[in-house]
Structure 1
Amino acid sequence: MSEPRIIQNFIGYRATIATEQPAAVEQLQDMLVKLGMSFAMAALSDGRLQIEPGDKDVLFIDSDLNVAVETGALEPSRCLPVIGIVGVEAPSRLRSLMQLGATATLRKPVHRASVYSALFVGINEFRRRRYLADRLEEQERRRLLRKSLVKAVLIVMRRTGSDHAAAYDHLRRESMRSRQSIEEFCETFIQAHGPELDDAETIAGTSRTYAKKR
């Protein structure tokens, strides 16, 4: 999983602007157009803001609003860059921006000169955070699958009489042949070829052996 490239050109991006003070964001709107972006004013309903974000969406939200942002299954911080428009610098309002995952801010009323910097930092920091979060999730997923690796090694050892190193090498070759990670391959292998192993002490002992060898 390669690190995300830095975005410098925002042509084609779409901005949603959530505020109840349109006059405070007029220069923001002008600058977005100059940068090649489209924008729409958010429709607020019953204290809620609903967005269906795509890959090139960004949300500008006024910290003076008291609204819940709904983006579907994931939290806003995982769906799209959030840039706060700050009026009153009360801790509670700044905290609400943090909880939304804001990665940059603009002072209200917004001035043209600050818009590009906020977009640059806000969008690229969002992409960096999402990359790191995805990596952590992948590592956790593979950690949970490690138990399947241990079970698969024990099954191969039991069936072939080989030692754990040879069993591991066999599984590694098969996983490469099937173009899967070894953990994913072992999960499939257990489901297709072997019973569950319930000997927790044996599994734990083999896990310790692998931890020392890898």
Structure 2
Amino acid sequence: MSEPRIIQNFIGYHATIATEQPAAVEQLQDMLTKLGVSFCTAEMGEGKLHIDPDDKDVLFIDSDLNVTVETGTFEPSRCLPVVGMIGVEAPSRLRSLMQLGATATLRKPVHRAAVYSALFVGINEFRRRRYLADRLEEHERRRLLRKSLVQAVLIVMQRTGGDYAAAYDQLRRESMRTRQSLEDFCERFIQTVGPELDEPQTPVGTNRTYARKR
């Protein structure tokens, strides 16, 4: 999994602006237009703001608002970059921006000169955080699959009469041949073999060398 590249050009991005003070964001809207970023004003009802984010969405949200941001299955911090627009610097309002996963801030009223920097930092820091979170999840998933690797090695050792290193190497080669991670291949291998380690059958879809030596 390669690190995300730095985004410098924001043409094609779409911004949602959530505020109850339109005059405070006039220069933000002007600068977004110059940068090639389309925008809309958020519709808020019953204290909720619903967004269906895609890969090029960014949320500018007024910290003075008392709304819940809904983005579907995942938390907003995993779905889209959030830029907080700060008026009153009360700790409770700053905390709400942190909980949303804000990666950049702007002072109200927003000035043109600060918009590009906020976009640059906000979007790229969001991408970096999501990349790190995805890597952490993948490492944890593979760690949980290590038990399947151990069990698969024991099965191959029992069926071939080889040692641990030879069994591990066979599984590694087969996983490379099928273009799967070693852990994923072993998980599927275990599911195919079934719970009986001494069952004298050849797993479907695997190399015949796994069959018990006689």
Paired letter, 1:137: E
Give the drift of 1:160: 1.2
| DSSP 3-state at the match of 1:55 | coil
Paired letter, 2:27: Q
Residues 1:35 and 2:35 are matched in the alignment: yes
Query: Could you tell me which residue of structure 1 aligns to residue 189 of structure 2?
Result: 189
C-alpha deviations, 1:127-183, integer Å up to 9, x for none?
Answer: 000000000000001001111000000111111111100000010011111110110
Give the drift of 1:3: 0.3
The CA distance in 2 between the partners of 1:185 and 1:56, in whole Å, is: 34
Paired letter, 1:165: A
| DSSP 3-state at the match of 1:72 | coil
Paired letter, 1:20: E
Query: Could you tell me which residue of structure 2 aligns to residue 179 of structure 1?
Result: 179
User: Against the structure 1 CA distance between its residues 124 and 196, is the aligned structure 2 distance closer, same or farther, given a 3 Å change threshold?
Assistant: farther
Query: Could you tell me which residue of structure 2 aligns to residue 73 of structure 1?
Result: 73
The CA distance in 2 between the partners of 1:181 and 1:187, in whole Å, is: 10
Give the drift of 1:121: 0.3
| DSSP 3-state at the match of 2:69 | strand
Give the drift of 1:194: 3.9
Higher helix share: 1
Query: Could you tell me which residue of structure 1 aligns to residue 90 of structure 2?
Result: 90
- How many residues are treated as equivalent by the alignment? 197
Give the drift of 1:196: 6.0
Runs of 4+ in 1 over 2 A off after TM superposition: none
Paired letter, 1:67: V
The CA distance in 2 between the partners of 1:10 and 1:196, in whole Å, is: 56
| Contact in 2 for aligned 1:16/1:40 (Cα 8 Å) | yes
- Normalising by structure 2, we get a TM-score of 0.91
The CA distance in 1 between the partners of 2:141 and 2:106, in whole Å, is: 37
Unaligned runs of 5+ in 1: 198-214
Give the drift of 1:193: 1.6
Query: Could you tell me which residue of structure 2 aligns to residue 142 of structure 1?
Result: 142
Query: Could you tell me which residue of structure 1 aligns to residue 152 of structure 2?
Result: 152
The CA distance in 2 between the partners of 1:194 and 1:29, in whole Å, is: 61
- Normalising by structure 1, we get a TM-score of 0.91
Identity of aligned residues (%): 84
| DSSP 3-state at the match of 1:190 | helix
Query: Could you tell me which residue of structure 1 aligns to residue 166 of structure 2?
Result: 166
The CA distance in 2 between the partners of 1:101 and 1:196, in whole Å, is: 48
Query: Could you tell me which residue of structure 1 aligns to residue 208 of structure 2?
Result: none
Give the drift of 1:106: 0.1
Unaligned runs of 5+ in 2: 198-214
The CA distance in 2 between the partners of 1:75 and 1:25, in whole Å, is: 25
Moved more, 85-94 or 187-196: 187-196
Paired letter, 2:89: E
| DSSP 3-state at the match of 2:165 | helix
